[in-house]
């Protein structure tokens, strides 16, 4: 059975690299240090934690998308045996609001609730069932208001503000080149994307343990960014940051949904109130209400091009619905508008982007962060352009492919290595899947276990997508990561606050230390706030940023080691190098194992790594606002039953610009996992919201790709090390999930000839088109 | 509205991983998953959906793979229950666990224990499953990180190595 494995080419590359290198160093498939406990069930996820004398916490949430709170009566809840604390807005001792970019959301709703599921109160009790009963006994008197749910109404300003900050979170225009430029080919379209959920498997969870003096606490939390959480939690609790210590609880996936505050403040507040440890964990339904989602978007685009199909100008209007609170909407919007051109040359552009505030569920970070929406639109346009110019989808993309140094419509030159043409060509060269057999098993037909598709009706289609994705944070954000490296008696200990959310940073950190310092044993200290920030595990940034910090700290320690060895043997330190696990004299004959050379030494260095500064955009959307870029291409092959509107994604081929594969097996995991999420967005996953109400907050009704939905994945890694990147490697997390969605939509168009403008593609979008 | 403490004076006994456990002062509405995790110190089984959709809480109940979130603990008193913690003696790895690590099938790891139990169950009943049989057997175990490719590779590796051992 080789259906789902990597193609021979990629496997061969990985194997060759591995055999030439010392086990565990960069470039090998080093083992994850958290792997053994994870397969044994011994790994402590945040919701596995337990403390003596612990209580459970739970949250009361608004049943209405928009309402005024007349009163909250908690007396009934206090009558229930086992209830130890009840807190509402008036019990928040510090800043009443929080938020990643703007502090516009109340810890508990105050005055108004602005989305279905907004927290109103929290309780602590002896048992989850007691908590549930207590929540039921709290009486909230709501004056139900008509929700604002149409983003266009928010833009038009026709409704009273639903929030003091107004109904428009951000508008950004990009004007580039000649706005009058045009060409003989003009194609336009409107593209829509539904609201996707990150659907990490491990629901939100935390354990808060109060200090004995009641003036501080320790919070064990599954998060993406410990220090940002600490800043917001301390502010809301009215405590100095040093009295709030955060420790990373095991994280069951993240994908952007753990960047915002969810239960952190509630759980901490209950712990301070009761003086007892509090455990909180969301169930799946609450998780859907408790974190932000991917922005639903509506994008209009018009491309003007030469008769040869070369893009002359793009015009776009992009509307991202941010829902009730800002979260990261301002940044998501900027990613959307600055990626409107895709990985293609374009000299002229007029782009308007809006992030709106409505009474829909709040939206924020999800893998791909604004670029997913833009890519779905620009790739739909590329296929229209191909048809108008008489080119194939591959030809039109090659003709316009961006090269290193080309400017974006923001005026920023793309000085990252930009192997767009290689991505497209190598994707196209990957083997196609076999034809669907005439006696194919029903499980492999569209509709799968539904066993409804008729083999005779099934048609096959092929589609392409190509993407550019910025790496790291943008717009003048002072982004850095901190790491400490100690070398004592041949053992390295690393400390950082980098959230390991499943991506494998722990393994990568060990690989870096083994490579730089020539040791085999690398200990990892607790991930907590007892060291400087490592920034967020998001934006494909940790390999670059925290990898860069660990690399720099290890190099500094290596310098100290060389100085010590040089002193001892009377050699110039500059002559020394690490070879395998030895310190060697590159000119003479000295060769000392690192373990021996470091005996008795206490070498200790802490480093803050920063990427180069970025700029804000001006009012015309001009400025060097991004740090770096990665590229990827996808080809999708689908089988469709057009009469039933059912789709089976047969195969995804992809070539990805990774810079350098530091752990090829781990890169494969990111590619395959990202593709599954992009497939979900293409044909399965949507949080259905009507009148501000979520209709499918469960895994029964929110459809996630299963083993039967997973396509065969064949891939090729494009390794052109980026000179800016500390390890030559680009982040590989986001690109896999970006252009796969438009590629699948294009394949469905190709199979059926029907106009697919929206994802996820629902059966009625095909059979009634 | 109840004023009574939630725990029941009833005591019931569960057989888990070959050991007998008395459960007391428990609310009788507790699922097997809750009792394993919160009362018996066996948090290896994970809860991610509470409705039998994700398979993270897969355990063996008299040899059948079930979602522990859907089983009332107090109704499982006569069953032989095996959780991920009971698959191998302390510190040891089963061939399935080792293959998951070797093939890169573990990322965040939240679905992993349930999948490990499900794969053991599959291969016990069908030592050489076809591609589609594997997919159908594991379709009740959702993984959000891996896209399943490395998980299929792990299953293949175990099948091959068991067949190899059987041939010797």
Tens-digit pLDDT profile for chain B (168 aa)? 445 678 888 899 999 999 999 999 999 999 999 999 999 999 999 999 999 999 999 999 999 999 999 999 999 999 999 999 999 987 899 999 999 999 999 999 999 999 999 999 999 999 999 999 999 999 999 999 999 999 999 999 999 999 999 998
Q: What is the pLDDT of residues A211-232, one digit of tens each?
A: 999 999 999 999 999 999 999 9
Structure confidence at residue B10 (pLDDT): 87
- A485 and A465 together in one domain: no
Structure confidence at residue A265 (pLDDT): 98
- A523 and A620 together in one domain: no
Residue A303's Cβ-count burial label (10 Å; 0-12, 13-18, 19+) is buried
Q: How far apart are CA A78 and CA A56, in angstroms?
A: 15
- A425 and A563 together in one domain: no
Is residue A529 a contact partner of residue A246, using CB atoms and an 8 Å limit? yes
- B27 and B63 together in one domain: yes
Domain that holds residue A219: 46-145+204-281
To the nearest whole Å, the CA of B78 is away from the closest chain A CA by: 24
Structure confidence at residue A8 (pLDDT): 37
In a domain, A150, yes or no: no
User: Among the three residues A610, A628, A657, which one is the final residue of a domain in this structure?
Assistant: A610
Is residue B14 a contact partner of residue B41, using CB atoms and an 8 Å limit? no
The DSSP code sequence of B128-158 is S--HHHHHHHTTTS--SSSTTHHHHHHHHHH
Look at residue A541 and tell me whether its pLDDT is greater than 90. Answer: yes
**Residue A769: band (very low, low, confident or very high) from pLDDT cuts 50, 70, 90:** confident
Token representation of residue A462: 């092929």
Q: What crossing angle do the helices spanning B149-167 and B95-102 adopt, rounded to 10°? A: 130
**Residue A503: band (very low, low, confident or very high) from pLDDT cuts 50, 70, 90:** very high
E strand spans, A326-377: 348-356
Q: CA dihedral in degrees (A377, A383, A385, A387; nearest 10)?
A: -150
**Residue A665 touches chain B, beta carbons under 8 Å:** yes
CB contacts of B39 in chain A (<8 Å) are: none
Nearest to B115 by CA among B81, B79, B78, B153: B153
Is residue A338 a contact partner of residue A647, using CB atoms and an 8 Å limit? no
User: Among the three residues B52, B85, B118, which one is the final residue of a domain in this structure?
Assistant: B85
**Residue A442 touches chain B, beta carbons under 8 Å:** no
- B65 and B128 together in one domain: no
Examine the predicted complex and report whether its ipTM is higher than 0.85: yes
Q: How far apart are CA A220 and CA A204, in angstroms?
A: 11
Nearest to B60 by CA among B121, B136, B113: B121
What Rg, from alpha-carbon coordinates, does chain B have? 17
Token representation of residue A630: 């990665």
Q: ∠ CA A89-A92-A94 to the nearest 5 degrees?
A: 135
CATH code assigned at A565: 3.30.365.10
Token representation of residue A669: 């995991």
Q: How far apart are CA A313 and CA A749, in angstroms?
A: 25
Characterize the bridge pairing of strands A55-61 and A278-281.
parallel
Enclosing H/E stretch for B100: helix B95-102
Please state, rounded to an integer, the average pLDDT across all residues of chain A. Answer: 96
Q: Which residue of B has its CA nearest to A502?
A: B108
Q: What is the pLDDT of residues A234-263, one digit of tens each?
A: 999 999 999 999 999 999 999 999 999 999
Structure confidence at residue B3 (pLDDT): 57
**Residue B2 touches chain A, beta carbons under 8 Å:** yes
In a domain, A20, yes or no: no
Q: CA dihedral in degrees (A686, A692, A697, A703; nearest 10)?
A: -10
- B102 and B154 together in one domain: yes
Q: How far apart are CA A489 and CA A29, in angstroms?
A: 26
CATH code assigned at A106: 3.90.1170.50
Q: CA dihedral in degrees (B129, B133, B137, B141; nearest 10)?
A: 100
To the nearest whole Å, the CA of B163 is away from the closest chain A CA by: 14
- B73 and B117 together in one domain: no
Determine phi and psi for A535, rounding to 5 degrees.
75, -175
Average pLDDT over residues A316-320: 98
Structure confidence at residue A449 (pLDDT): 76
Is residue A70 a contact partner of residue A132, using CB atoms and an 8 Å limit? no
In a domain, B149, yes or no: yes
- A539 and A564 together in one domain: yes
User: Among the three residues B85, B119, B140, which one is the final residue of a domain in this structure?
Assistant: B85
To the nearest whole Å, the CA of A747 is away from the closest chain B CA by: 20
- A346 and A244 together in one domain: no
Q: Which residue of B has its CA nearest to A30?
A: B102
Q: How far apart are CA A684 and CA A670, in angstroms?
A: 20
Characterize the bridge pairing of strands A217-221 and B19-23.
unpaired
Determine phi and psi for A348, rounding to 5 degrees.
-130, 140
Taking an 8 Å cut-off on Cβ atoms, the answer to whether B46 and A672 are in contact is: no
Can you say whether residue A24 is alpha, beta or left, with left for phi > 0 and alpha for psi between -120 and 50 degrees? left
- A338 and A392 together in one domain: yes
Look at residue A388 and tell me whether its pLDDT is greater than 70. Answer: yes
Token representation of residue A736: 């896999």
Domain that holds residue B21: 12-85
In a domain, B138, yes or no: yes
Count of domains for chain B: 2
User: Among the three residues A610, A644, A669, which one is the final residue of a domain in this structure?
Assistant: A610
Look at residue A1 and tell me whether its pLDDT is greater than 50. Answer: no
Of chain B residues 63-122, which have a CB less than 8 A from chain A? Answer: 83-85, 88, 93, 97-98, 100-101, 103-104, 106-113, 116
Q: What is the pLDDT of residues A6-57, one digit of tens each?
A: 333 333 344 444 457 999 999 999 999 999 999 999 999 999 999 999 999 9
Residue A291's Cβ-count burial label (10 Å; 0-12, 13-18, 19+) is buried
CATH code assigned at B137: 1.10.150.120
Token representation of residue A551: 């690399």
Residues of chain A above pLDDT 70, percent: 98
- B80 and B105 together in one domain: no
- A464 and A513 together in one domain: no
In a domain, B143, yes or no: yes
Q: How far apart are CA A142 and CA A540, in angstroms?
A: 42
Taking an 8 Å cut-off on Cβ atoms, the answer to whether B106 and A706 are in contact is: no
To the nearest whole Å, the CA of B47 is away from the closest chain A CA by: 8
CB contacts of B83 in chain A (<8 Å) are: 41
**Residue A283 touches chain B, beta carbons under 8 Å:** yes
SS (H, E, C) A258-296: CCCCCCHHHHHHHHHHHCCCEEEECCHHHHHHHCCECCC
Structure confidence at residue A5 (pLDDT): 39
Average pLDDT over residues A573-596: 96
DSSP 8-state assignment for residue A381: H
- A242 and A376 together in one domain: no
To the nearest whole Å, the CA of A57 is away from the closest chain B CA by: 15
- B56 and B102 together in one domain: no
Residue B59's Cβ-count burial label (10 Å; 0-12, 13-18, 19+) is buried
In a domain, B90, yes or no: no
Look at residue A318 and tell me whether its pLDDT is greater than 80. Answer: yes
- B126 and B144 together in one domain: yes
Of chain A residues 229-268, which have a CB less than 8 A from chain B? Answer: 250-255
Q: Count CB atoms within 10 A of the CB of residue A588.
A: 11
In a domain, B155, yes or no: yes
Taking an 8 Å cut-off on Cβ atoms, the answer to whether A669 and B148 are in contact is: no
In a domain, A376, yes or no: yes
- B40 and B103 together in one domain: no
B122: which residues sit within 8 A by CB, 6+ positions away? B129, B133, B134, B137, B138, B155
Taking an 8 Å cut-off on Cβ atoms, the answer to whether A704 and B142 are in contact is: yes
Characterize the bridge pairing of strands A217-221 and A244-248.
parallel
In a domain, B6, yes or no: no
Taking an 8 Å cut-off on Cβ atoms, the answer to whether A201 and B136 are in contact is: no
- A594 and A649 together in one domain: no
Count of domains for chain A: 3
Determine phi and psi for B6, rounding to 5 degrees.
-80, -25
Nearest to A46 by CA among A270, A320, A246: A246
Identify from B31, B108, B116 which residue to disrupt to test chain A contact, counting A C-beta atoms within 10 A and taking the largest count: B108
- A634 and A698 together in one domain: yes
In a domain, B78, yes or no: yes
- A557 and A705 together in one domain: no
Q: CA dihedral in degrees (B148, B150, B151, B156; nearest 10)?
A: 130
Residue A320 C-alpha from the chain's centroid: 17
Q: Among A396-405, A714-723, B5-14, B20-29, where is mean pLDDT lowest? A: B5-14
Average pLDDT over residues A664-674: 98
Enclosing H/E stretch for A60: strand A55-61
What Rg, from alpha-carbon coordinates, does chain A have? 27
3-state SS class at A299: strand
- B110 and B133 together in one domain: yes
- The β-bridge partners of A716 are A655
Identify from A39, A258, A449, A706 which residue to disrupt to test chain B contact, counting B C-beta atoms within 10 A and taking the largest count: A39
CATH code assigned at B32: 3.10.20.30
Q: How far apart are CA A447 and CA A642, in angstroms?
A: 12
In a domain, A627, yes or no: yes
- A577 and A648 together in one domain: no
User: Among the three residues B32, B59, B85, which one is the final residue of a domain in this structure?
Assistant: B85
Is residue A566 a contact partner of residue A606, using CB atoms and an 8 Å limit? no
Residue A750 C-alpha from the chain's centroid: 30
Q: How far apart are CA A735 and CA A724, in angstroms?
A: 19
Q: ∠ CA A212-A214-A215 to the nearest 5 degrees?
A: 115
Q: Which residue of B has its CA nearest to A131?
A: B6
Token representation of residue A27: 């470039």
């Amino acid at each position: 059975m080789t259906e789902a494995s990597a193609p021979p080419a990629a496997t061969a590359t990985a194997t060759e690299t591995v055999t030439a290198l010392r086990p565990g160093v960069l470039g090998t498939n080093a083992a994850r240090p958290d792997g053994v406990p994870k397969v044994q069930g011994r790994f402590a996820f945040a919701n596995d934690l337990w403390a003596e004398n612990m209580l459970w916490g739970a949250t009361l949430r608004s049943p209405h998308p928009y309402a005024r709170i007349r009163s909250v009566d908690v007396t009934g809840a206090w009558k229930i045996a086992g209830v130890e604390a009840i807190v509402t807005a008036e019990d928040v001792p510090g800043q009443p609001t929080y938020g990643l970019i703007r502090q516009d959301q109340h810890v508990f709703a105050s005055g108004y609730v602005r989305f279905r599921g907004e927290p109103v109160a929290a309780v602590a009790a002896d048992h989850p069932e007691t908590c549930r009963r207590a929540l039921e006994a709290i009486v909230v008197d709501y004056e139900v208001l008509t929700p604002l749910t149409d983003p266009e109404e928010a833009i038009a300003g026709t409704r009273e503000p639903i929030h003091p900050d107004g109904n428009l979170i951000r508008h950004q225009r990009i004007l580039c080149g000649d706005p009058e430029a045009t060409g003989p080919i003009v194609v336009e379209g409107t593209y829509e994307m539904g609201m996707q959920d990150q659907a990490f498997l491990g629901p939100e969870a935390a354990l808060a343990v109060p200090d004995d003096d009641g003036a501080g606490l320790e919070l064990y939390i599954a998060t993406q960014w410990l220090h940002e959480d600490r800043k917001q939690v301390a502010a809301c609790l009215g405590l100095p940051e040093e009295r709030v210590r955060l420790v990373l609880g095991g994280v069951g996936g993240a994908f952007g949904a753990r960047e915002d505050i969810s239960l952190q403040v509630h759980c901490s507040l209950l712990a301070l109130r009761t003086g007892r440890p509090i455990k909180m964990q969301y169930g799946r339904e609450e998780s859907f209400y408790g974190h932000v989602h991917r922005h639903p978007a509506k994008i209009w685009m018009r491309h003007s091009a030469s008769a040869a199909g070369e893009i002359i100008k793009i015009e776009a209007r992009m509307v991202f619905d941010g829902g009730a609170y800002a979260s990261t909407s301002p940044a998501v919007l900027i990613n959307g508008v600055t990626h409107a051109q895709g990985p293609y040359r374009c000299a002229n552009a007029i782009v308007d982007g809006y992030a709106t505030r409505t009474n829909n569920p709040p939206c924020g970070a999800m893998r791909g962060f604004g670029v997913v929406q833009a890519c779905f639109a620009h790739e739909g346009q590329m296929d229209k352009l191909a048809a108008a110019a008489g080119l194939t989808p591959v030809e039109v993309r090659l003709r316009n492919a961006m090269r290193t140094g080309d400017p974006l419509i923001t005026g920023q030159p793309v000085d990252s290595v930009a192997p767009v043409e290689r991505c497209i060509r190598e994707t196209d060269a990957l083997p196609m899947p076999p034809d669907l057999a005439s006696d194919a098993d029903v499980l492999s037909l569209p509709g799968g276990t539904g066993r409804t598709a008729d083999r005779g009706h099934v048609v096959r289609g092929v589609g392409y997508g190509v993407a550019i994705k910025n790496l790291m944070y943008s717009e003048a954000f002072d982004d850095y990561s901190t790491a400490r490296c100690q070398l004592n008696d041949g053992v390295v200990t690393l400390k950082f606050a980098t959230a390991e959310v499943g991506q494998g940073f722990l393994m990568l950190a060990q690989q870096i230390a083994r490579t730089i310092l020539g040791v085999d044993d690398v200990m990892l200290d607790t991930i907590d706030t007892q060291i400087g920030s490592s920034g967020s595990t998001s934006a494909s940034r940790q390999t670059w940023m925290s990898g860069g910090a660990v690399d720099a700290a290890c190099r500094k320690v290596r310098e100290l080691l060389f100085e010590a060895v040089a002193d001892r043997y009377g050699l110039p330190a500059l002559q020394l190098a690490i070879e395998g696990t030895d310190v060697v004299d590159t000119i003479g004959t000295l060769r000392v194992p690192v373990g021996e050379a470091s005996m008795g030494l206490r070498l200790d260095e802490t480093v803050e790594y920063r990427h180069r500064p970025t700029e804000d955009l001006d009012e015309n959307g001009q400025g060097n606002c991004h740090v770096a870029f990665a590229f990827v291409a996808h080809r999708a092959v689908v089988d469709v039953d057009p009469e039933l509107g059912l789709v089976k994604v047969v195969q995804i081929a992809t070539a990805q610009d990774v810079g350098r594969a530091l752990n090829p097996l781990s890169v494969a995991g990111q590619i395959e996992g990202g593709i599954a999420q992009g497939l979900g967005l293409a044909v399965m996953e949507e949080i259905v919201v009507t009148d501000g109400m979520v209709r499918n907050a469960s895994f029964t009704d929110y459809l996630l790709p299963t083993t039967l939905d997973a396509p065969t994945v064949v891939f090729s890694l494009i390794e052109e090390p980026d000179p800016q990147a500390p390890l030559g490697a680009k982040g590989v997390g986001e690109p896999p999930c970006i252009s796969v969605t438009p590629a699948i939509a294009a394949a469905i168009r190709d199979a059926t000839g029907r106009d697919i403008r929206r994802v996820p593609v629902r059966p009625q979008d095909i059979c009634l088109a | 509205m109840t004023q009574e403490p939630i725990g029941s004076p009833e005591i019931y006994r569960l057989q888990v991983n070959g050991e007998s456990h008395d459960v007391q002062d428990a609310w009788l509405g507790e699922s097997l998953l809750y009792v394993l995790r919160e009362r018996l110190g066996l948090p290896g089984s994970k809860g991610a959906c509470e409705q039998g959709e994700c398979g993270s809480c897969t355990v063996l109940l008299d040899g059948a793979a079930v979602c522990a979130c859907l089983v009332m603990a107090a109704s499982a008193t006569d069953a032989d229950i095996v959780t991920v913690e009971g698959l191998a003696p302390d510190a040891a790895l089963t061939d399935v666990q080792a293959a998951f690590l070797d093939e890169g099938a573990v990322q965040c790891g939240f679905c992993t224990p349930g999948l490990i139990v499900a794969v053991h169950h599959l291969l016990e009943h069908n030592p050489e499953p076809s591609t589609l049989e594997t997919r159908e057997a594991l379709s009740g175990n959702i993984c959000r990180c891996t896209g399943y490719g490395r998980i299929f590779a792990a299953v293949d590796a175990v099948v091959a190595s068991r067949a190899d051992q059987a041939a010797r």
